[in-house]
Amino acid sequence: MLSKVYSASVLGINGHIITVEVDIAPGLPNLFTVGLPDASIREAKSRVISAINNSGFEFPTKKITVNLAPADVRKEGSGFDLPIAIGILAASEQLLSEFLPQWCLVGELALDGTLRNVKGILPLVLEAKERNLKGIILPYSNLEEASVVTGIKIYGAQNLREVCNALKEDIHSLTSPKIPLGSSPTQEQTDLDFADVKGHPFAKRALEVACAGGHNVLLMGPPGSGKTMLSKRVTSILPLLTLEESIETTKIHSVAGTLSKNWGLIKIRPFRNPHHTISDIALIGGGQIPKPGEVSLAHNGVLFLDELPEFHRNVLEVLRQPLESKEVTITRVKETLHFPSNFMLIAALNPCPCGYLGHPLRSCLCTPYKVLKYKSKVSGPLLDRIDIHLEIPVLKIDELMEETSFQESSLEIRKRVIQARTIQKERFKNEKIPLYTNSQMNSKLLKRFCECDIESKSLLRHAIESMGLSARAHDRIIKLARTIADLADSKKILVEHMAEAIQYRVLDKNSSALNLV
């Protein structure tokens, strides 16, 4: 007898509905799975047999063929255990239900029939809704994540027997979500605040400009100067995630398996801090079955690369494309996948291998050759894609011991950032390609929206000639100046805006102690 059950699989970060066809025919007892299954699906045979027998059913001693259609799409994951088991029970007439053609089934089976959670539930539920299926049945532990989707019936089950009873008798006997948008923490519940950072007013201003326009930042300074402390607080001054951004961010983390079991929807902008020993595939994404990397996990948030020169050069060079296009394109023979990667890059480095070159109190022990070799690990083209180069000096003892000085909170800084982004949103609202920040402008938009007065043009010309700036650096300075003008609520870029933008390009100065170009 033949049965059909709907399930779903993840391809990239999107879900795809898969039809699980089960045919039981006379022949030697065996279970064959076809339709480009991966190893975890081929291993489902043992899990399904044990789960069916241990749930009070009888596994058919006949030839069983399971086809996952369409057959030309690669399938992966253990989420096909439940639909395969239900398909076998339906084909062997142990389960007769009118609901099977209307519902999507996803879940991994334990040997005793218990349902275990699977990765990528959110994109699967979204795809089931898009295909107008009546609902989806999934493991109870995935219910919180699935609850963010409305407009489709979602039910969670504890085991195979519970699913069978619901399909035969009352589908509504299963557990449905009670909290529409999950219970994950929000940005206001984090304890990171710029009020905790003493001193560094210039650095705080630069990071405010970076967040207002979505610009990348490079922090340079000796150990203990505050580079990491400042970087970790950048997400606290970024605008709160919109619902659309939260869903897209949650999809990526769901597919990667990094989503907390107790979270339904990510409401805090991601902050990813990979170790410098990371590989290029782990950073950019890929693999035999492509998965999102750190740059995609940082989508709508911050990617922090501490000790930048310690990263392998080939790892750093793969950052060029996502920094420009805001997405990662991974091409295989049969498919091309796109992973979003619209993140703010914040990188930090020391002035030399020992870290104390130019330190006011400690002497540098590095030879000129070691310093040159250390600096050459970061290429000029990569530095060209970083808008703000910022030196972080060591705090003086008086600044460090000061107890009464007022430090502005992240909430106050965020208000100005949101105001500047509102101006940019209004500026780009009629563009065909969605734009959100000044850092995304191309050369045509620079001419339209970045009107400079005569003095600012003259200052920029002088900076290009004296500092030997590239064409890309020229454009990035104008984008920076546009953001600074937005923070000042100025329609035209004035000379003070241009001067501040030029100050943030210290690596382009020929006299800089950290000339890495």
Q: Is 434's pLDDT higher than 50?
A: yes
Mean pLDDT of 421-433: 92
- Per-residue pLDDT reduced to its tens digit, 382-406: 888 899 999 999 887 777 777 656 7
Angle at 134 between CA 79 and CA 33, to 5 degrees: 30
Give the pLDDT score at 179.
54
Residues 144 and 238 in one domain: no
CA atoms of 510 and 517, how far apart (whole Å)? 10
C-beta of residue 439 within 8 angstroms of C-beta of residue 213: yes
Q: Is 75's pLDDT higher than 80?
A: yes
The CB-side HSE value for 68 (13 A sphere, CA atoms) comes to: 26
**Does residue 179 sit within a domain?**
no
Mean pLDDT of 434-445: 90
Q: For the ranges 206-220, 253-267, 346-360, which has the lowest average pLDDT?
A: 253-267
Residues 6+ away with beta carbon under 8 Å from 406? none
Give the pLDDT score at 517.
34
C-beta of residue 351 within 8 angstroms of C-beta of residue 358: yes
C-beta of residue 64 within 8 angstroms of C-beta of residue 87: no
Residues 279 and 392 in one domain: yes
Give the pLDDT score at 493.
95
Angle at 494 between CA 488 and CA 497, to 5 degrees: 60
- On average, the pLDDT of the chain sits at 90
Residues 169 and 195 in one domain: no
Read off the CATH number of the domain in which 480 is found.
3.40.50.300
Length of the chain: 517
Give the pLDDT score at 194.
93
Residues 496 and 409 in one domain: yes
Question: Percentages helix, strand, coil for the chain, rounded to the nearest 5?
Answer: 40, 20, 40
* Of 173, 201, 229, the domain-final residue: 173
Q: Is 56's pLDDT higher than 70?
A: yes
Mean pLDDT of 247-257: 93
Mean pLDDT of 288-312: 93
- DSSP readout, 294-329? HHHHTTTSEEEESSGGGS-HHHHHTTHHHHHHSEEE
Q: Is 96's pLDDT higher than 60?
A: yes
**Does residue 454 sit within a domain?**
yes
CA atoms of 136 and 175, how far apart (whole Å)? 12
Residue located via tokens 């959100």: 436
Closest by CA position to 397, among listed 221, 255, 199, 252: 199
Helix (H, G, I), strand (E, B) or coil at 385: coil
Angle at 392 between CA 387 and CA 393, to 5 degrees: 150
Q: Is 515's pLDDT higher than 60?
A: no
Residues 136 and 237 in one domain: no
Q: For the ranges 200-204, 328-332, 425-429, which has the lowest average pLDDT?
A: 328-332
Mean pLDDT of 86-97: 94
Angle at 419 between CA 415 and CA 422, to 5 degrees: 135
Longest dimension (CA), the chain: 88
* Of 173, 198, 213, the domain-final residue: 173
Residues 6+ away with beta carbon under 8 Å from 423? 486, 489
**Does residue 45 sit within a domain?**
yes
Residues 366 and 459 in one domain: yes
CA atoms of 434 and 248, how far apart (whole Å)? 15
Give the pLDDT score at 185.
62
Residues 309 and 201 in one domain: yes
CA atoms of 246 and 149, how far apart (whole Å)? 12
Give the pLDDT score at 101.
85
Beta bridge partners of 337: 330
Residues 406 and 480 in one domain: yes
Residues 166 and 191 in one domain: no
Give the pLDDT score at 477.
93
CA atoms of 355 and 359, how far apart (whole Å)? 8
**Does residue 122 sit within a domain?**
yes
Give the pLDDT score at 402.
74
Q: Is 506's pLDDT higher than 80?
A: no
Q: Is 496's pLDDT higher than 50?
A: yes
Residues 289 and 406 in one domain: yes
**Does residue 476 sit within a domain?**
yes
* Of 147, 173, 199, the domain-final residue: 173
CA atoms of 463 and 474, how far apart (whole Å)? 9
Phi, psi of 472 (to 5 degrees): -65, -40
- Per-residue pLDDT reduced to its tens digit, 364-385: 989 999 988 888 888 888 888 8
Residues 6+ away with beta carbon under 8 Å from 172? 155, 166
What percent of the chain stands above pLDDT 70? 95
**Does residue 144 sit within a domain?**
yes
Give the pLDDT score at 511.
38
Question: Dihedral of the CA atoms 33, 38, 40, 41 (nearest 10)?
Answer: -20
- Per-residue pLDDT reduced to its tens digit, 275-296: 999 999 999 998 878 899 999 9
Q: Read off the pLDDT band of 516 (50, 70, 90).
A: very low
C-beta of residue 135 within 8 angstroms of C-beta of residue 99: no
What percent of the chain stands above pLDDT 90? 67
Read off the CATH number of the domain in which 96 is found.
3.30.230.10
**Does residue 402 sit within a domain?**
yes
CA atoms of 442 and 228, how far apart (whole Å)? 31
Q: Read off the pLDDT band of 513 (50, 70, 90).
A: very low
Residues 6+ away with beta carbon under 8 Å from 80? 7, 9, 18, 20, 37, 41, 44, 68
Domains in the chain, number = 2
Beta bridge partners of 381: none
Residues 157 and 212 in one domain: no
- Per-residue pLDDT reduced to its tens digit, 149-163: 989 999 999 999 999
- Look up the domain containing 164 and give its range: 2-173
Q: Is 306's pLDDT higher than 90?
A: yes
Angle at 196 between CA 192 and CA 198, to 5 degrees: 145
Residues 286 and 427 in one domain: yes
Q: Read off the pLDDT band of 78 (50, 70, 90).
A: very high
**Does residue 92 sit within a domain?**
yes
Give every strand in the sheet of 153-157, ordered side by side.
30-34, 63-69, 14-25, 2-11, 103-105, 135-139, 153-157
Closest by CA position to 82, among listed 197, 210, 11, 174: 174
